[in-house]
């Protein structure tokens, strides 16, 4: 059964979806309104927006944002549905993220190659047994990218590809958090080796999608929890920054704007992000980040995105709470351009739909320049 079509809940907004708006905001240039954009809107919210099931914005089926999935079986949202969603809520970009993490594989007991996500890689020997992703994986991304680009020809909506996670992929899926963090102190050559290899692949992927004509680069990696970075800043800069710089070079060589996402309090990395040329940082996790402080410290040098708290007001607040919070964010972050409105993580199924509608309407109401 189809859900009730909810288009009437969303108020008209100025300016059609246009990727140039998002890129200009990322570069802190004049725009007509504050862009609003989410990488992930989960399936039940999408269904309420469109009035029919269409999957989530990263995949037609499956949850790639929550783990390693097979890129051959987890297909992206259909372009027709995604474009309609963008037009209803004013999004400027489609993001291709049906297989977020690199597709490293290993042989199971029957010799069949399976995706690695079981935290079983504990040393160099274990890592050498894995099959590294390659051209076939990149070609699959390019196939979907071409399909999206073809569908977007008569619109001003852009397209990007979710790339990154060399750090999170290694600690969360290959090695395991505890063993990975210990090895950062006790076996740096192992850690450096796996991070470099994963980054090698991501560099290849980034160059390929840039050559195919993405609108801008989208890199991600989770580097911290709410109190700070996962590793002491000095060590984090030694281990993480050099690999990230290699990814950044692929975008900067092509003059692509760069949108970077990391959960947690990454305040101690922001200067490094600015130095490497990141244009926009998201989502300013409010559990550890004061957006007023970030605006004062960084707002003249990098675009800020996010910080509208999923927990409160989006999930546990009222529509009135949501509108008040969006208005307060606009008052601080809107001046001087350089703000992209978004949640503090993603639009989750357990968020009251009326709160999501209120957020979108309030962004368009208070985000006019």
Lowest-confidence region among 56-70, 126-140, 194-208: 56-70
- Residue 317 domain-assigned (yes or no): yes
- Residue 309 domain-assigned (yes or no): yes
Q: What pLDDT digit, counting tens, does each position of 215-242 carry?
A: 999 999 999 999 999 999 999 999 999 9
Q: Which residue has the tokens 């208070």?
A: 366
Instruction: Estimate to the nearest angstrom the gap between the alpha carbon of 20 and the chain centroid.
Output: 18
Asked if 71 contacts 98 with a C-beta cutoff of 8 angstroms, the reply is yes
pLDDT, position 7: 54
| Token pair for 157 | 């909506």
pLDDT, position 3: 40
Q: What pLDDT digit, counting tens, does each position of 8-41 carry?
A: 699 999 999 999 999 999 999 999 999 999 999 9
Q: How far is CA 166 from CA 73, 134, 141, 198, 366, in A?
A: 22, 15, 17, 6, 37
Q: Say if residue 307's pLDDT is above 60.
A: yes
In the predicted model, what is the mean pLDDT of the chain?
95
Asked if 319 contacts 351 with a C-beta cutoff of 8 angstroms, the reply is no
What's the CATH code of the domain at 153? 3.20.20.210
CB atoms within 10 A of CB 296: 11
- Residue 111 domain-assigned (yes or no): yes
- Residue 69 domain-assigned (yes or no): no
Q: What pLDDT digit, counting tens, does each position of 175-193 carry?
A: 999 999 999 999 999 999 9
pLDDT, position 306: 98
In terms of residue numbers, what domain contains 147? 16-34+102-366
- Residue 193 domain-assigned (yes or no): yes
- Residue 153 domain-assigned (yes or no): yes
Average pLDDT over residues 98-112: 91
Q: Say if residue 129's pLDDT is above 50.
A: yes
Structural domains of the chain, count: 1
The pTM assigned to this predicted structure is 0.95
Average pLDDT over residues 247-256: 98
- Residue 144 domain-assigned (yes or no): yes
Average pLDDT over residues 33-59: 97
Name the pLDDT band for 2 (thresholds 50, 70, 90): very low
% of the chain at pLDDT higher than 90: 92
Asked if 214 contacts 166 with a C-beta cutoff of 8 angstroms, the reply is no
Average pLDDT over residues 139-158: 97
| Token pair for 274 | 């600015």
Q: Say if residue 5's pLDDT is above 70.
A: no
Name the pLDDT band for 66 (thresholds 50, 70, 90): confident
| Token pair for 149 | 């680009």
Asked if 235 contacts 167 with a C-beta cutoff of 8 angstroms, the reply is no
Phi/psi-derived region of residue 336, left when phi > 0, alpha when psi is between -120 and 50, beta in every other case: left
pLDDT, position 65: 77
- Residue 196 domain-assigned (yes or no): yes
Q: What pLDDT digit, counting tens, does each position of 190-209 carry?
A: 999 999 999 999 999 999 99
d(CA 358, CA 317) in angstroms, rounded, equals: 11
Q: What pLDDT digit, counting tens, does each position of 328-369 carry?
A: 999 999 999 999 999 999 999 999 999 999 999 999 999 999
Asked if 344 contacts 284 with a C-beta cutoff of 8 angstroms, the reply is yes
């Amino acid at each position: 059964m189809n859900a009730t079509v909810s288009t009437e809940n969303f108020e008209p907004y100025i300016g059609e979806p246009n990727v140039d708006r998002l890129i200009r905001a990322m570069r802190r240039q004049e725009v007509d309104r504050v862009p609003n954009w989410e990488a992930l809107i989960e399936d039940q919210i999408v269904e309420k927006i469109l009035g029919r099931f269409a999957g989530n914005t990263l995949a037609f089926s499956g949850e790639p944002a929550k783990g390693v999935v097979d890129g051959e079986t987890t297909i992206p949202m259909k372009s027709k549905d995604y474009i309609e969603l963008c037009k209803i809520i004013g999004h400027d970009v489609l993001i291709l993220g049906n297989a977020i993490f690199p597709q490293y594989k290993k042989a199971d007991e029957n010799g069949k190659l399976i995706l690695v996500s079981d935290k079983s890689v504990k040393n160099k020997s274990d890592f050498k047994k894995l099959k590294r992703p390659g051209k076939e994986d990149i070609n699959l991304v390019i196939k979907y990218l071409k399909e999206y680009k073809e569908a977007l020809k008569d619109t001003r909506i852009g397209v990007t590809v979710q790339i990154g996670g060399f750090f999170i992929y290694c600690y969360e899926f290959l090695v395991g958090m505890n063993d990975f963090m210990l090895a950062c102190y006790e076996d740096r050559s192992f850690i450096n080796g796996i991070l470099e290899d994963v980054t090698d692949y991501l560099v290849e992927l980034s160059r390929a999608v840039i050559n195919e004509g993405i609108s801008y680069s989208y890199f991600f990696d989770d580097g911290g929890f709410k109190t700070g970075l996962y590793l002491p800043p000095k060590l984090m800069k030694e281990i993480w920054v050099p690999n990230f710089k290699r990814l950044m070079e692929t975008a900067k060589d092509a003059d692509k704007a760069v949108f970077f996402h990391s959960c947690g309090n990454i305040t101690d990395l922001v200067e490094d992000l600015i130095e490497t040329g990141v244009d926009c940082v998201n989502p300013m996790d409010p559990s550890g980040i004061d957006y007023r402080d970030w605006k004062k410290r960084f707002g003249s040098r990098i675009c800020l995105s996010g910080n509208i708290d999923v927990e409160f007001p989006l999930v546990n607040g009222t529509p009135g709470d949501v509108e008040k919070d969006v208005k307060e964010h606009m008052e601080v972050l809107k001046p001087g351009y350089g703000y992209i409105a978004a949640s503090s993580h993603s639009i989750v199924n357990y968020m009251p739909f009326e709160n999501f509608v209120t957020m979108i309407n309030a962004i368009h109401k208070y985000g006019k320049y």
